[in-house]
Structure 1
Amino acid sequence: MSLKTLILGATAMAALALPAAAAAPADNSKSLVPGYPDVVGEYIQIPGYPAAGTPKALNTASFLRLRAAADGETPKPANAVIVGLPGFSSTPAHWLYLASQLVHKAQGQTCDGAPCRIEVWVLQRRGANLADTTGLTAARARKDPKLALDYYLGAAALQPSALPGAPLKVDVPPAGSPPPAWKPLSQTDVAFMADWDFQAYAGDIDAMIGLIKQKTGNRNVFLAGHSQGGGFVANYAARLQADGKRGVDKLSGLIFLDGGPSAGTEAAPTEAHLNAYFAKVAALRAGKDRVYTDASGMLGAIAGPEAAASQSVTGVYYAFVDPAQESIFPLRTAAMTANPGDAFLRAIRLTWLARAGASFDTDPVPGGGVQMPVLQFLGEGLGYLDFKPVPGTEDQCDKTPPAPMLGPPRPGMAAAKCVPAPAQIDPAKVYGWVEGGGNGQSPLDAGKARLWMDSQAYAPARSNIKPVEVTFAESGVRTIDASDMIASNWYPSERWDFDAGFVGRYKTLKLDRDGVKLDIDKSAIAAIPVYVARQSPAPAANNPFPGVTDYTEVNKTGTYQTDAAKAVTPFDPAINAKLYFHTDFVSVDDSTPDKGRPGDPGNSAVANTLINWVLKRSKGAAATPTPKALGVVARY
């Protein structure tokens, strides 16, 4: 029986002999976070904002819930709930380790005579709700990642080495190999994404926060955003809600992680701005512009459903392979040929751990300039490849013209003297990885490739998401099972990305036109604690919100606090983020928090300051829903 036959529609689970939901045990062990056995993850979906045109089954809000595993099926009241917003094209997987560190650290502190409880709920982008993850779940249940490989990619994804005379990484697919069963949804299928705007995402957050029951006088909910999500935090806090209150009135604090804070750069949109905005909206709704990003924009060939499915399959392999064994996947594909170092990374033989590190590290060959500009800008400092040119090839460099940098250069990136080329590789060697982080051998890298690998591999075995049948305009009836939490957004919303920039641009924004109804006033952000951690070497007193007196900022040069902030949680002003790259702020290693000060390798500058900042600014405790109330069961 072929995998295509096995994995069809809602009958796939039964065909693969997965346990039925009603019979699934309450065992949390398969849902624990790697490295944090006291933290359990659950992938949850609830009714979301009713975006115009979207099928009801897809108008949902999904999020990763991380909480204390010791509470089992009855979570204790939370001293704080942090609702997290991922950044541009990002997912909850990027937040896995910061969130787990906070849940873990809270359990080691005392609140009202008992261990504290912090829960972290990280929103999943709506595009993930369109991902058919049946093949991923099947692979996890059977512990056989090849099931996912065959279903989504086919054997053609396994390419032989590009080096003449080198051993083949895999067998060449035989002629006539069956194509993969999965096909991506088309732009026409998901035309309704044209209305997945700021309103939709804000409405999804409303629905999430609505699950948290706060007694009168309690203030327990914090809104946190990384990168583009930081812009959303300010916009949401300033937004007028249906009950006449602004978001800031219902929150205990705002947290900005290398994104924001910003009160807007212009007072209000002009008529020309508004006309340009609605012209873009009209183009999206009419199908003249793409509604999801697919191999275009800043992310290029690593964007869109086919690229994301490939990354998801890689994540399933990460879950079951020996990190020291050789990866069967090339790090670069034929579509990635425009950057220096691409040919080198396409040819080199790597361990699975090295593949994980080199896929997202900002500079995997120190000073070599082999990483794509977008990942230099968005990536982490994870360590480096254990690579040296074969003797006699030191000058055989890659002459591909460098692509423009997307941000300010970091040491060693701007002017590589010799970008490595395939001629410098030993074809008989499988290259490994030198780790950063706590006890790592790369003192300038605060992250670890193993953490990145595990975050890409992780998907909670506990979920309430069920398969749904949807009729699409072009593809017809399709069964979508989005219950496996994916580490990349398959269908990134162009409308959301467009709205994020537009809404964040203005101090005030009032709209009631063409289905868009917004009332945003950022001057309303006042009398609320604000925490900021970012790369910027910003000067002191860089608070953009005049009414905020409790303000803390950790940046490259140190930590700045207002007097009101110091009175609640005074921090060592020498704490800094000088080693941190963009995604380090939510993913950095915290394996040796007892060594050095926050910001040193192995001692998270964010987790080890934010934990007390949050707990000291919480009032009372909030009741959070039980897994049973949300319909959460073990998937396998």
Structure 2
Amino acid sequence: MGASALVAAAAALPVRALAAAPAADPAADRVETPVATGSPVTGVTETMVRVRVPLPSSAGPRPEACDWLSYLRFRDSAGPAASARADRILVAQPGILEGAGAFDSVARNTVAAAARNGKHIEFWALDRRSNCLEDHTGVQAGLAAKDVHLAVDYYYRQKEVDGRKFAGYQTNDQVTWLQNVGLEQTVRDQYDLMVHELPDQTARKQKMLCGGHSLGGILTAFFAEWDFDGDHATTGDAGYNQCSGYFALDTRISTGLPGMDGQIPTDLIPLLKFGASAVQAGLESGVVPRSLSAPALINTETMNLLSIAGLAADLAPDGPSDLAAYVPSSFNTDTTYRLLFSKDYPTFVKGSPTVKDFRFTNAAALGGLLDDNSQPLAFMQASVGFWDGGKIVDKEFPAPNDLDSIGLGGLAQLLGPDKKAIPDEPNGPLYGWRNYDRVGDGVPASKDGTPFTSAAKEVTDIGELARSLAEQPLDFTEHYFPTRMVTDIALAASPGIADDAVHTNGPAANPIINLEAGDGLGGRDPQPGDVVAPGYQHIDVLTAAAAQNDGRPEVVSTNLAAFAAK
């Protein structure tokens, strides 16, 4: 979900599974479907839009659904129904391992904030083409039936939903077309979608703002540089002439990786040293996996499990969670639980106590997966509250909380700056979750005597996070990220990779707003003019609640709406 996650994910290239999606209706080239959710933000209409934009035949065989592009459209309910009449349209690229549903809260909050100031704007949250392979049938069926077990049964017990069975997770050999979905296809998909939805280039230049979260900032920069008609002497088709400005959500509008001298270190991915031809040959032969995945923690199955955990917390936040026991045991799930819920190295090595030895509410289980005081990877962290209901101690795995004292302070870039905490009473009380707006006095203290967190550092409503994970028809997560995207960005200077990224003035050609998480990835290197959201983590710039603990409106969406209105 983060730009720096490119390195973490690319370093673990083994791939498994991709799920097939339902076939699209070939009778029309555009389908718009209303989306109903339980969001407390009123006055915002959401639809899912699908547009048929086939891949070139050279991409190879693929499901028919993958010849469609999809996005979530959020607009002011009191505003014009036609996008061409909106005051402004924000077009957002997701980060790595991230889908359109991740923009749910920031999109609604931004549209609502603009409406309060008399502006009718739209927010388009893009889903990358490869997400066509996701199968949301089980989660959507569980949501409709209000039964999370139905979702688990669909994915793990071959239980049919409306006559459909889960096809399982496909092998690398079954997704050969992903080797052709890289940087060029991704920016061209955005261009083709924008042109389809708003054919008048003058209107696009006037109305559209381009941006994204994390990796989305890098993709936006390449988009701004790209020449889409192949004639480098003309500029009407140039990416920067499709946008009136840019927005960066805990990222930069730059073709280089922030904090890494702009490059992916080749020591971490030795294959890059052999160049673009070797990488492409590896993809075509299957030696290089065509989708980024790790044996545990980050892969197709665990991304889907986040949606299932979100569904449980959405349906019954205070109910006892049984997902760890109800989901069948496997190397992937068991190792993921051990990585996330081990108190220290002896616990991890011994494998005891396990997560199944603790009692959690559904909200606490979700908080344990994604909260910044629990989730060990910074690019997957949100500030959603804290544990409640039992003894809490320092979580010293995969790294101790006192990194600075042992000379490992630099690991905070990967692990985040906040101390990690974990329940410490197996076979004991039912651990609950204090939501972001209930964190005040009485927060347990770390071993150094300081509270693990405070109200000022909690910004996302766990109920809204659960809703975004479970209720969106386009997923919050990205189950399979094309490896070629990573290698193309790393090797963009090589011939044949980004030959049409010729308008290098593109990222500087329009105004930019940088909206950085104070405790996230971008906030660690603030630049003049940045809007920094104090206490926010990398995911919080997308998920923060409209009402904050300091009594002020949510800072990211408020400033983004004001920028769009200029």
TM-score (normalised: structure 1): 0.66
Q: Deviations over 1:241-294 (max 9, x none)?
A: 116322112210011111223354579xxxx97961221122011111111123
Structure 1 counterpart of 2:469, from 442, 456, 476: 456
Equivalent position SS for 2:458: coil
CA contact (8 A) 1:152 1:310 kept: no
Equivalent position amino acid for 1:355 in 2: A
CA contact (8 A) 1:356 1:450 kept: no
Q: 1:143 to 1:79 in 2, by over 3 A?
A: same
Say yes or no: does 1:445 pair with 2:458.
Answer: yes
TM-score (normalised: structure 2): 0.74
- Residue 204 of structure 1 deviates from its aligned partner by 1.1
Q: Deviations over 1:53-78 (max 9, x none)?
A: 14372232221111223469666711
- For residues 181-260 of structure 1, the aligned pairs below 5 Å read 181-210=166-195, 211-214=197-200, 216=202, 219-242=206-229, 244-245=234-235, 246-260=238-252
Q: Which residue of 2 aligns with 1:402?
A: 399
Structure 2 Cα separation of the partners of residues 258 and 239 of structure 1: 23
Higher helix share: 2
Structure 1 counterpart of 2:91, from 77, 80, 83: 83
Q: Which residue of 2 aligns with 1:42?
A: 47
Structure 1 Cα separation of the partners of residues 101 and 52 of structure 2: 22
Structure 1 Cα separation of the partners of residues 54 and 93 of structure 2: 16
Q: 1:378 to 1:500 in 2, by over 3 A?
A: farther
CA contact (8 A) 1:236 1:247 kept: yes
Structure 2 Cα separation of the partners of residues 330 and 322 of structure 1: 16
Say yes or no: does 1:151 pair with 2:154.
Answer: yes
Q: 1:329 to 1:143 in 2, by over 3 A?
A: closer
- Residue 195 of structure 1 deviates from its aligned partner by 0.7
Q: Which residue of 1 aligns with 2:558?
A: 608
Say yes or no: does 1:577 pair with 2:566.
Answer: no
Equivalent position SS for 1:519: coil
Q: 1:530 to 1:131 in 2, by over 3 A?
A: same
Q: Which residue of 2 aligns with 1:313?
A: 308
Structure 2 counterpart of 1:53, from 60, 66, 73: 60
Say yes or no: does 1:434 pair with 2:434.
Answer: yes
Q: 1:438 to 1:65 in 2, by over 3 A?
A: farther
Equivalent position SS for 1:313: helix
Q: Which residue of 2 aligns with 1:129?
A: 132
- Residue 240 of structure 1 deviates from its aligned partner by 1.3
CA contact (8 A) 2:91 2:124 kept: yes
Q: Which residue of 1 aligns with 2:501?
A: 519
Q: 1:428 to 1:72 in 2, by over 3 A?
A: farther
- Residue 492 of structure 1 deviates from its aligned partner by 1.9
Say yes or no: does 1:496 pair with 2:485.
Answer: yes
Structure 2 Cα separation of the partners of residues 420 and 62 of structure 1: 39
Structure 1 Cα separation of the partners of residues 48 and 499 of structure 2: 30
CA contact (8 A) 1:80 1:117 kept: yes
Equivalent position amino acid for 2:387 in 1: L
Equivalent position amino acid for 2:120 in 1: R
Equivalent position amino acid for 1:80 in 2: R
CA contact (8 A) 2:51 2:69 kept: yes
- Residue 425 of structure 1 deviates from its aligned partner by 0.9
- Residue 214 of structure 1 deviates from its aligned partner by 4.3
- Residue 531 of structure 1 deviates from its aligned partner by 0.8
Equivalent position SS for 1:37: coil
Structure 1 Cα separation of the partners of residues 542 and 22 of structure 2: 35
Equivalent position SS for 1:249: helix
Q: 1:37 to 1:309 in 2, by over 3 A?
A: same
- Residue 400 of structure 1 deviates from its aligned partner by 5.8
Q: Which residue of 2 aligns with 1:164?
A: none
CA contact (8 A) 1:304 1:490 kept: yes
Q: 1:536 to 1:608 in 2, by over 3 A?
A: closer
Q: 1:348 to 1:123 in 2, by over 3 A?
A: same
- Residue 533 of structure 1 deviates from its aligned partner by 1.8
Structure 1 Cα separation of the partners of residues 276 and 525 of structure 2: 38
Structure 2 counterpart of 1:379, from 381, 384, 397: 381
CA RMSD of aligned residues (A): 3.8
Structure 2 counterpart of 1:327, from 310, 314, 321: 321
Equivalent position amino acid for 1:578 in 2: P
Structure 1 Cα separation of the partners of residues 60 and 135 of structure 2: 20
- Residue 80 of structure 1 deviates from its aligned partner by 0.7
CA contact (8 A) 1:222 1:252 kept: yes
Structure 1 Cα separation of the partners of residues 354 and 464 of structure 2: 24
Structure 2 Cα separation of the partners of residues 592 and 537 of structure 1: 16
Equivalent position SS for 1:43: strand
Equivalent position amino acid for 2:514 in 1: V
Say yes or no: does 1:120 pair with 2:115.
Answer: no
Equivalent position SS for 1:431: strand
Say yes or no: does 1:358 pair with 2:368.
Answer: yes
Equivalent position amino acid for 1:357 in 2: G
Equivalent position SS for 1:148: helix
Equivalent position amino acid for 1:402 in 2: A
The runs of 5 or more residues in structure 2 that have no matched partner are: 1-19, 160-164, 264-270, 326-331, 401-407, 442-453
Equivalent position amino acid for 1:362 in 2: D
- Residue 93 of structure 1 deviates from its aligned partner by 2.0
- Residue 209 of structure 1 deviates from its aligned partner by 0.9
Q: 1:535 to 1:307 in 2, by over 3 A?
A: closer
Structure 1 Cα separation of the partners of residues 217 and 550 of structure 2: 29
Structure 2 Cα separation of the partners of residues 9 and 398 of structure 1: 39
- Residue 330 of structure 1 deviates from its aligned partner by 2.6
Equivalent position SS for 1:101: helix
Q: Which residue of 2 aligns with 1:64?
A: 72
Which segment drifts farther, 186-195 or 346-355?
A: 346-355
CA contact (8 A) 2:459 2:535 kept: yes
Q: 1:70 to 1:139 in 2, by over 3 A?
A: farther
Aligned-residue sequence identity (percent) comes to 20
Equivalent position amino acid for 2:307 in 1: S
Q: Deviations over 1:496-522 (max 9, x none)?
A: 23223433xxxxx47347xx7533342
Count of residues in Structure 1 that have an aligned counterpart in Structure 2:
477
Q: Which residue of 2 aligns with 1:623?
A: none
Structure 2 Cα separation of the partners of residues 402 and 493 of structure 1: 30
Q: Which residue of 2 aligns with 1:95?
A: 103
Equivalent position amino acid for 1:522 in 2: T
Which structure would you say has the larger Rg? 1
- For residues 260-271 of structure 1, the aligned pairs below 5 Å read 260-262=252-254, 264=256
